């Protein structure tokens, strides 16, 4: 248990540093993000300079350059996504925390939601995606966000709803019990989280009972470096099981697992804060989500690596 305590101190410190770094670079007006094809077209790819520039003026973000070089879309999915969607334009709403917002994607292209947008609309406009993800939001705060007029209206007109929520509920337990953290400290918050998720689903169904809802599960960001601390996997598995059981109660609700996507020692899937996904991590989440919403849940589309990651 001592190891777990030390680890969580590192955990909170790391998240704090990451948050401060992000806040210093991002203004309040950027917290609410709406992803649209028009905005995606504004992405500027770095090109070689045509004239000499003083060295002190050149600032190279190596990680961002590498991520921009990666595929804008899920390459192998274009054809079967087009075939899976109806002729009329599909309305997709994404709500939740920083994973929905796309925090950690240094290319600034919207994380997994942006990848979905670019993939779905590669050949023609078949989906409009409204992204209401906000960093730091808890399940209780998401419940309140559903009452906002713009979110309410978007959900009412939607065909598909994507949700990532719960990481900040879990983190709250750590912050409140940092002096003497025990596994049992998570149980009350987990019950509260489960009740909030259930209420979120019920409220969404009151707004729009015909929309398909997808709950995207947790992953353990520390499994690569702290695989010997079994308590972490136990906590993640338990919280995932809460949302999985809730999804079984509703015919239009599907749980999408992501924990297996990040159990890879060969490639770094996390951002600099070692908590949020980097672009490659978001690409894996996007591929998994797309496989579920298009019902292409076979071995090739769900469990294999994206095409650009596979060895030639």
Residue pLDDT, tens place only, 237-264: 999 999 999 999 999 999 999 999 998 8
CATH of 87-300, one of 3.40.50.1110, 2.40.180.10, 1.10.1740.10, 3.40.920.10: 3.40.50.1110
Q: What is the mean pLDDT of the chain?
A: 78
| Dihedral (CA of 71, 75, 81, 87) sign | positive
228 versus 56: the higher-pLDDT residue is 228
pTM of the model: 0.76
Which residues fall within 8 angstroms of residue 118, CB to CB, at 6 or more apart? 40, 72, 73, 109
Which residues fall within 8 angstroms of residue 38, CB to CB, at 6 or more apart? none
Residue pLDDT, tens place only, 51-70: 333 444 444 455 555 555 67
Q: Where are the domains of the chain?
A: 87-300
Which residues fall within 8 angstroms of residue 304, CB to CB, at 6 or more apart? 310
Q: Where are the alpha helices (DSSP H) in the chain?
A: 2-25, 37-40, 62-68, 78-84, 98-101, 111-120, 139-145, 149-156, 167-176, 186-207, 230-247, 279-293
Residue pLDDT, tens place only, 67-105: 556 788 887 665 666 666 766 789 999 999 999 999 999
């Amino acid at each position: 248990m001592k190891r777990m305590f030390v680890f969580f101190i590192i955990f909170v410190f790391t998240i704090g540093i990451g948050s401060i770094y992000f806040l210093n670079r991002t203004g309040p007006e950027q917290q609410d993000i709406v992803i649209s094809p028009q905005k995606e077209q504004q992405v500027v790819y770095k090109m070689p300079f045509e004239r000499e520039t003083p060295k002190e003026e050149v600032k190279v973000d190596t990680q961002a350059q590498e991520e921009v070089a990666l595929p804008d879309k899920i390459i192998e999915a274009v054809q079967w996504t087009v075939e899976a969607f109806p002729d009329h334009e599909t309305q997709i709403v994404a709500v939740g925390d920083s994973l929905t917002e796309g925090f950690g994607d240094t290319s600034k292209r919207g994380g997994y939601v942006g990848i979905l947008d670019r993939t779905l609309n590669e050949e023609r406009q078949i989906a409009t995606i409204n992204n209401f993800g906000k960093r730091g939001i808890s399940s209780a705060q998401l419940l309140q966000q559903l009452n906002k007029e713009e979110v309410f209206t978007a959900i009412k007109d939607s065909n598909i709803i994507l949700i990532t929520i719960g990481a900040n509920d879990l983190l709250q337990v750590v912050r409140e019990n940092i002096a003497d953290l025990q596994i049992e400290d998570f149980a009350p918050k987990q019950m509260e989280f489960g009740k909030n998720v259930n209420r979120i689903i019920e409220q969404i169904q009151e707004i729009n009972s015909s929309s398909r809802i997808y709950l995207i599960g947790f992953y353990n960001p520390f499994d690569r470096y702290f695989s010997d601390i079994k308590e972490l996997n136990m906590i993640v598995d338990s919280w995932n099981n809460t949302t999985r059981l809730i999804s079984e109660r509703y015919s239009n609700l599907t749980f999408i697992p992501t924990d297996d996507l990040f159990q890879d020692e060969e490639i770094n899937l996390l951002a600099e804060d070692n908590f949020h996904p980097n672009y490659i991590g978001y690409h894996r989440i996007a591929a998994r989500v797309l496989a579920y919403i298009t019902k292409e849940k076979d071995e090739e589309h769900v469990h294999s690596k994206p095409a650009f990651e596979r060895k030639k």
